[in-house]
Amino acid sequence: MTETPAPPAPSFRSDMTVELVKHSASDTDVLWAARVSTAGEQSLDELNKDPERSKGLINFLMRDRHGSPFEHNSLTFFISAPLFVFREFHRHRVGWSYNEESGRYRQLQPVFYVPDADRKLVQQGRPGKYEFVPGTEEQHELTSRSMADVYRKAYETYEEMLAAGVAREVARAVLPVGLYSSMYATCNARSLMHFLGLRTQHEQARVPSFPQREIEMVGELMEEQWAKLMPLTHAAFNANGRVAP
Ligand SMILES: Cc1cc2nc3c(=O)[nH]c(=O)nc-3n(C[C@H](O)[C@H](O)[C@H](O)COP(=O)(O)OP(=O)(O)OC[C@H]3O[C@@H](n4cnc5c(N)ncnc54)[C@H](O)[C@@H]3O)c2cc1C
């Protein structure tokens, strides 16, 4: 007799994970693309001749918003985050490719988001001019407890429906947006900069944005990895107010 495997127990997380799984991205890709304008097919030889000039050229391209040289590179991230983060993420249409795990072809795993103690819980101010302040211990306790209760109940119901023969694509409707999902997201430096300009807050930003903290956490992790691959481009992005070229 075969035993039925025990249903997975719900687990709760507060973090986002971003793994750079594949890349072809360097500052020389930008220089090579830009110099084709003036050096034609000789542009590759020009790359390492004069580092200061290279830095200056990248800064000029960023400042004057000559964007296309920043597109000749590719970064693929594997991202794990709640559905409500992906919902915001997928609004970024240009220069992005996505593939996300399916809730139709496999049973969704019970991993759910609960904010940690550092997450500012209380919103103050008027639309367009909000600020977030820390919550009290009671507010944190209420948030964690309520979320865990609802997540457990929702997943129990999901499993009950699956066990009764209801299709995964129908049963998943009972699961909340705090459920974790995973996806591959591929972009280039230009589309990533546009994303970062909107989805992170930064003291060097010329046009401040007010993203939800959880998508900002994903953005910060992507930026950290991208900055190591393209340090001159990253520095020029910051120096020019974090406005994508
Ligand atoms: C803080 C914040 C709050 C937000 N709040 C809301 C909200 O309340 N409701 C809501 O629906 N969305 C909201 N959004 C999403 C926002 O409106 C954008 O959809 C999202 O930021 C993607 O930006 P984008 O269109 O510039 O990016 P992409 O889709 O990647 O486009 C990049 C650029 O390409 C050009 N482009 C792309 N498509 C077109 C087009 N069809 N026509 C002309 N030009 C185009 C534009 O120049 C655009 O900036 C919010 C975003 C942020 C950052």
| Domain extent listing, the chain | 11-114+179-239
Task: Output the pLDDT for position 183.
Answer: 98
* Residue 218 CA to ligand 1 centre (angstroms): 18
Q: What residues are paired with 98 via a beta bridge?
A: 185
Residue bearing the bigger pLDDT, 202 or 32 = 202
Residue range 186-215, pLDDT digits in tens: 999 999 999 999 999 999 999 999 999 999
Whether 244 is in the pocket of ligand 1, judged by its Cβ within 6 Å, is no
- 106 labeled part of a ligand binding site: no
Residue range 43-65, pLDDT digits in tens: 555 566 777 888 999 999 999 99
What is the chain's alpha carbon radius of gyration, rounded to the nearest angstrom?
22
Whether 211 is in the pocket of ligand 1, judged by its Cβ within 6 Å, is yes
* Residue 145 CA to ligand 1 centre (angstroms): 34
- 63 labeled part of a ligand binding site: no
Distance CA 96, CA 106 (A): 25
Nearest atom (ligand 1) to Cα of 95: 30
Task: Output the pLDDT for position 83.
Answer: 98
Nearest atom (ligand 1) to Cα of 211: 1
Whether 130 is in the pocket of ligand 1, judged by its Cβ within 6 Å, is no
Task: Output the pLDDT for position 128.
Answer: 74
The one-character DSSP state at 197 is H
Q: What is the pTM of this model?
A: 0.94
Nearest atom (ligand 1) to Cα of 96: 30
CA 197 to chain centre: 12
- 66 labeled part of a ligand binding site: no
Does residue 145 surpass a pLDDT of 60?
yes
Whether 198 is in the pocket of ligand 1, judged by its Cβ within 6 Å, is yes
Does residue 94 surpass a pLDDT of 60?
yes
Q: How far is CA 199 from CA 77, 171, 218, 220, 243, in A?
A: 16, 32, 9, 9, 12
Start-end of H helices in 64-167: 83-89, 137-163
Distance CA 170, CA 1 (A): 30
Average pLDDT of the chain to the nearest whole number? 93
Q: Which of 145, 234, 156 lies closest to 197, judged by CA?
A: 234
Between 49-53, 85-89, 106-110, 168-172, the lowest mean confidence (pLDDT) is in 49-53
83-94 average pLDDT score: 98
106 included as an active-site residue: no
Confidence class of residue 37 from pLDDT cuts 50, 70 and 90?
low
Does residue 126 surpass a pLDDT of 90?
no
| CB 52, CB 12: distance < 8 Å | no
Of 35, 119, 168, 199, catalytic = 199
Task: Output the pLDDT for position 184.
Answer: 98
Is CATH 3.30.1490.100 correct for 11-114+179-239?
Answer: no
